[in-house]
Structure 1
Amino acid sequence: MTCPYDFILFDLDGTLSDPIDGIGRSINYALEHFAYAPLDHAQQAICIGPPLYHSFARITGSTDEAHLTALIDKYRERYGSVGYAENQLYPGIAEALQALSAQGVPMAVCTSKRADFAERILDMFGIAEHFRFVDGGDIHLEKWQQIERLRARGIVTEASLMVGDRDVDMIAAQRNGLSAAGVLWGYGSRAELSAFAPEHLFSAASELVQLLAPLS
């Protein structure tokens, strides 16, 4: 079976694994350090996907770059020690990645999360071997810019696919001419993803093997 895409990029948070506990607790750790009220679970969920800088700016209403950077640094203090491990691999992901790998499909992770944190998570779940590389984000780096860099280096092309659970993933793909696949087990709604008319919209991780089927 031949995959119709020459490369598949996977988002991490909300796509491969559920990070809400580690991210939510680490956000509250940073907020409480600076005397802000902690977020509840629903408020934490909104922060899964977008870059941290935008999330902290929205939560606090601050436009002070030094302050927002300090919040991110405090967040990473906890996340880097324990938060990254407060994470659950979604059911069926390991099996789907194995099936794609068995067919020789080249894959990588493209995440707004810092690359070293993402690599630790992939190692923790024993799925790092399926990916050629991890492309991570940082302050002021948008996901569409990450894919733009990959395109400029010739690593991905218009024949590549971005798989993710939030609008930022769909935007990043379409802005760079890639196909997009939305997943509904993460933190983006069907309406959020459908607004971008992705080529695929999956309800369960087991459906990812459909990426091996020729496009109709």
Structure 2
Amino acid sequence: MKHDLLIFDLDGTISDPREGIVRSFNFALSHHRLPELAETEIAAHIGPPLDQTFIALTQNQDPAFIASLVKKYRERYAEVGYSENTLYAGIKDTLAELHSRQVRMGICTSKPVDFARQILGLFGLEAMFEFVSGGDIGIEKWQQLETLKKQFTISQHAIMIGDRAVDLTAAHKNGLQAAGVLWGYGSYEELDNEQPAYLFEQPSQLLRLIPD
């Protein structure tokens, strides 16, 4: 086997969260009497942790204000936003094929673990993954991978799969290989600049990570 475990990002890699994220962002902004933003502006920031995105969108770095925005966002996301996800075409079949071949898989997402599990459960995917690592405010993805290594949940032979530069840099900071996927929110240039071991254009190509 080329890799002993495949680690998947969630948003932009397995599911498309655009509708739920955009509506929840604007719900939080509106609650704080800030103007709602265009879908394209918010979508460009899908991937990194929520606090970083709110700082970028509001140009406000006050910790209490950002925490309040995140709290309001999560109120709507917990109620309905998570259910507004859709799976990328072909990803469920590919994951099922990997699972049928007894390929070990896990999730590492910036989302809180409860939200991640809700989304995986929504699509009947959770049983395919050995673990779900969720993030929180102040926790970077590279730190999540570092913790997984320290706990011996993953080894140096695991590979991180994601659609944004943050996924690839997190892997490289931990000495892991990374694969970029081009059906999510990161551009070819963004991902190629991080020198991933692989760049995939469609989910079925993920099968190249395992032997025939």
Q: How high is the TM-score relative to the length of structure 2? A: 0.98
Structure 2 residue 16 is the aligned partner of structure 1 residue 29: no
Query: Where does residue 94 of structure 1 map in the other structure?
Result: 92
Query: Where does residue 143 of structure 1 map in the other structure?
Result: 141
Query: Where does residue 111 of structure 1 map in the other structure?
Result: 109
Counterpart AA for 1:145? Q
**Please, what is the CA RMSD of the aligned residues?**
0.9
> 3-state SS of the aligned residue for 2:70?
helix
Alpha-carbon displacement from aligned partner over 1:43-82 (angstroms, at most 9, x marks no partner): 1112210000000011111111111000000000000000
> 3-state SS of the aligned residue for 1:31?
helix
Query: Where does residue 160 of structure 2 map in the other structure?
Result: 162
Structure 1 residue ranges, 4+ long, deviating more than 3 angstroms after superposition = none
Query: Where does residue 186 of structure 2 map in the other structure?
Result: 188
Segments of 5+ residues of structure 1 without an aligned counterpart are none
Counterpart AA for 1:135? S
Structure 2 residue 51 is the aligned partner of structure 1 residue 59: no
CA distance in 2, matches of 1:200, 1:194: 9
Q: CA deviation at 1:208?
A: 1.0
Worse overlay, 9-18 or 44-53: 44-53
Query: Where does residue 16 of structure 1 map in the other structure?
Result: 14
Query: Where does residue 127 of structure 2 map in the other structure?
Result: 129
Alpha-carbon displacement from aligned partner over 1:90-137 (angstroms, at most 9, x marks no partner): 111111111111121111110000100010000001111110111000
CA distance in 2, matches of 1:183, 1:197: 13
CA distance in 2, matches of 1:65, 1:35: 18
CA distance in 2, matches of 1:105, 1:23: 30
Q: How does 1:43-82 map to 2 (within 5 A)?
A: 43-82=41-80
Alpha-carbon displacement from aligned partner over 1:136-159 (angstroms, at most 9, x marks no partner): 000000000000100111111211
Q: CA deviation at 1:27?
A: 0.3
Identity across matched positions, percent? 49
Q: How high is the TM-score relative to the length of structure 1? A: 0.96
CA distance in 2, matches of 1:158, 1:193: 21
Counterpart AA for 2:130? R
Count of residues in correspondence between the two structures: 212
> 3-state SS of the aligned residue for 2:79?
coil
Q: CA deviation at 1:36?
A: 1.1
Q: CA deviation at 1:211?
A: 1.0
Segments of 5+ residues of structure 2 without an aligned counterpart are none
